[in-house]
């Protein structure tokens, strides 16, 4: 039997709406984040801007990353750079031309089990609001007309 230590029993367990909790939720599902442009950065001027970021998954290697510059309306495959290992940060990049207008940037990772990173709405639908760890929802950044980049929940 496991030792049932404090963090394993009370942190690495995810409480679901029916009052039962998953035990032990140690695996991190696929997740990604755009690191450039990202919160607190500023784009100097309209023009070429390479979107870059990191993706990872606790279940395998990253097989695909898509990027959206219109808040999830349309998606483009990003280029995945090596090395590409299971449970490891994997770099991706996607060329973009910023037209000086407001945009919401997102990235969506798929791992080699076929799992696709979910939206926040899908996560809330499946888990309710009481889980804390493993928030792997698609992350969005807002690029303002001023070039400033801020956190946004889209």
Partner 1 sequence: MSRRSGLIPAALIVVAGAAIAAESERTGLGHQATAEELGAAGYTVFPDGKGLPQGQGTAREGKAVYQQFCAACHGRSAQGEDAAALVGGRGSLTSERPRKTVESYWPYATTLWDYIRRSMPYESPGSLTNDEIYGVVAHFLDLMNLVGEDDVLDRESLPKVEMPNRDGFVPDDRPDTGG
Q: Determine, following the binding rule CB under 6 A, whether residue 23 of this chain makes contact with ligand HEC.
A: no
- DSSP class per residue in 84-128: --TTS-EEEEEEEEE-SS-EEEEEEEEETT--BPPPHHHHHHHH-
User: Are residues 150 and 144 in contact, defined by beta-carbon separation less than 8 angstroms?
Assistant: yes
List the single partner that 1 binds among partner 1, ligand HEC, none, CB under 5 to 8 Å by kind.
partner 1
Which token pair is 7? 């963090």
Site stretch for partner 1 (CB under 8 A), options 34-42, 47-55, 91-99, 120-128 = 120-128
Is the CB of 13 or the CB of 107 nearer to partner 1? Answer: 13
Is the CB of 41 or the CB of 154 nearer to partner 1? Answer: 154
Q: Are strands 31-36 and 76-77 parallel, antiparallel or unpaired?
A: unpaired
Q: Determine, following the binding rule CB under 8 A, whether residue 27 of this chain makes contact with partner 1.
A: yes
Q: Which of 126, 133, 145, 151 binds partner 1 (CB under 8 A)?
A: 126
Region for residue 72 given its phi and psi (left: phi exceeds 0; alpha: psi -120 to 50; beta: otherwise)? left
- For the bound state, the minimum distance from the C-beta of residue 12 to ligand HEC, rounded and expressed in Å, comes to 12
């Amino acid at each position: 039997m496991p030792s049932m230590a404090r963090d394993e029993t009370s942190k690495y367990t995810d409480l679901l709406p029916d009052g039962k909790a998953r035990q032990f939720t140690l695996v991190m599902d696929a997740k990604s984040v755009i690191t450039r442009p990202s919160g607190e950065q500023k784009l100097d001027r309209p023009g070429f801007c390479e979107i870059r970021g990191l993706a990872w998954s606790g279940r395998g290697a990253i097989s695909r990353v898509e990027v959206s510059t219109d808040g999830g309306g349309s998606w483009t495959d990003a280029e995945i750079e090596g090395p590409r290992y299971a449970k490891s940060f994997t770099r991706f990049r996607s060329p973009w031309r910023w037209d000086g207008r407001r945009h919401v940037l997102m990235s969506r990772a798929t791992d080699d089990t076929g799992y696709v990173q979910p939206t926040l709405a899908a996560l809330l639908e499946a888990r309710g609001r009481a889980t804390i760890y493993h928030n792997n929802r698609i992350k969005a950044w807002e690029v303002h007309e001023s070039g400033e980049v801020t956190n946004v929940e889209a």
